[in-house]
Amino acid sequence: MPELPDLEAYRSYFNLRIVGVPIEEATVLIPLVVRAPKEGFVAALRGNAFGPIGRRGKFLLFPLERGDYTLAIHSMLTGRFQYCPPEQKRRAKTCFVLALGDGHELRYFDDRLMGKVYLVSGGDFSGVPRYLEMGPEPLSEELTEEVFRAQLRRFRGQIKSVLLNETCVAGIGNAYADEILFAAGLHPYRKRTELSPEDEGRLYRAIRSVLSEAVAMVAERMETDGLPVEEYRDFLKVHRRGGQPCPNCGAPITEITAGRRITNFCRYCQR
């Protein structure tokens, strides 16, 4: 699933390429993922152009220059983009295609058709489930350490589950939750109520450092290698590295699967 660093890289990539470029045609191929009437979706996009691309949580936001519309896309597990010449073969399960005035097509494909594409009018996101309930952005100036502590203390579950709850902070997914907790030296199944003020401070700093470094690395890779079919995750230290040596102590990294979620951590560095 694309998480905050991946989506920030997408945002930068598209801002360099599609802002202000006319949308000559819009074609909906699989209406299931487009949460708007097909005719209205096409009419809003055809002949329009995108303004600067934004992000909120795990949504990419594509504002349109005319009509006060925003395309809000949550790609869920398998939603991905193509920005390519029209003659390039379309991926299976391509949901919509935008023919752009620069000779490229912007495509969205989704192997499991789990993603959701909303056409938001007038800045009213109330029709987008859970959008207005999201907590602060992890890398925003508004999320000071004091604000983070207050947000964190609203919850009582296991600390990894708290990080994944977007009403606490927005945009952290399974992979980067593992990386953040490893950097902070916190066991993922530890109760939030057991964290000391020192633990909370380490967690706050780990969120900022892990995500900031990942944003830069993923954006650089995307500019060099193009839009990925799978996320760039080869630089992660513990996630999906079960059985491999911990980069800190050398002990085997633990992998636990529960509720279809894989969790990786070091039992010695994250007691």
Question: Does residue 139 fall inside a structural domain?
Answer: no
Output the domain CATH number for residue 60. 3.20.190.10
Question: Does residue 255 fall inside a structural domain?
Answer: yes
DSSP-derived secondary structure letter, 41: H
- pLDDT in tens for each of the 271 residues of the chain? 899 999 999 999 999 999 999 999 999 999 999 999 999 999 999 999 999 999 999 999 999 999 999 999 999 999 999 999 999 999 999 999 999 999 999 999 999 999 999 999 999 999 999 999 999 999 999 999 999 999 999 999 999 999 999 999 999 999 999 999 999 999 999 999 999 999 999 999 999 999 999 999 999 999 999 999 999 999 999 999 999 999 999 999 999 998 789 999 999 999 8
Look up the domain containing 12 and give its range: 4-133
Output the domain CATH number for residue 174. 1.10.8.50
Kindly tell me the burial class for residue 84, based on how many C-beta atoms sit within 10 Å of its own C-beta (0-12, 13-18, 19 or more): middle
Identified catalytic residue from 58, 80, 116, 241: 58
| Residue 191 annotated as catalytic | no
Tokens describing residue 20: 């202000």
Identified catalytic residue from 38, 112, 130, 261: 261
Q: Tell me, yes or no, if the pTM score tops 0.85.
A: yes
| Residue 58 annotated as catalytic | yes
Kindly tell me the burial class for residue 184, based on how many C-beta atoms sit within 10 Å of its own C-beta (0-12, 13-18, 19 or more): buried
- Per-residue burial over 95-130, b = 16 or more CB atoms within 10 Å of its CB, e = otherwise: bbbbbbeeebbbbbbbeeeebbbbbbeeeebeebee
Which of residues 73, 108, 133 is at a domain's end? 133
The number of folded domains in the chain is 2
| Residue 220 annotated as catalytic | no
Question: Does residue 138 fall inside a structural domain?
Answer: no
Identified catalytic residue from 2, 5, 138, 188: 2
Question: Does residue 117 fall inside a structural domain?
Answer: yes
Question: Does residue 159 fall inside a structural domain?
Answer: yes
Identified catalytic residue from 3, 105, 179, 200: 3
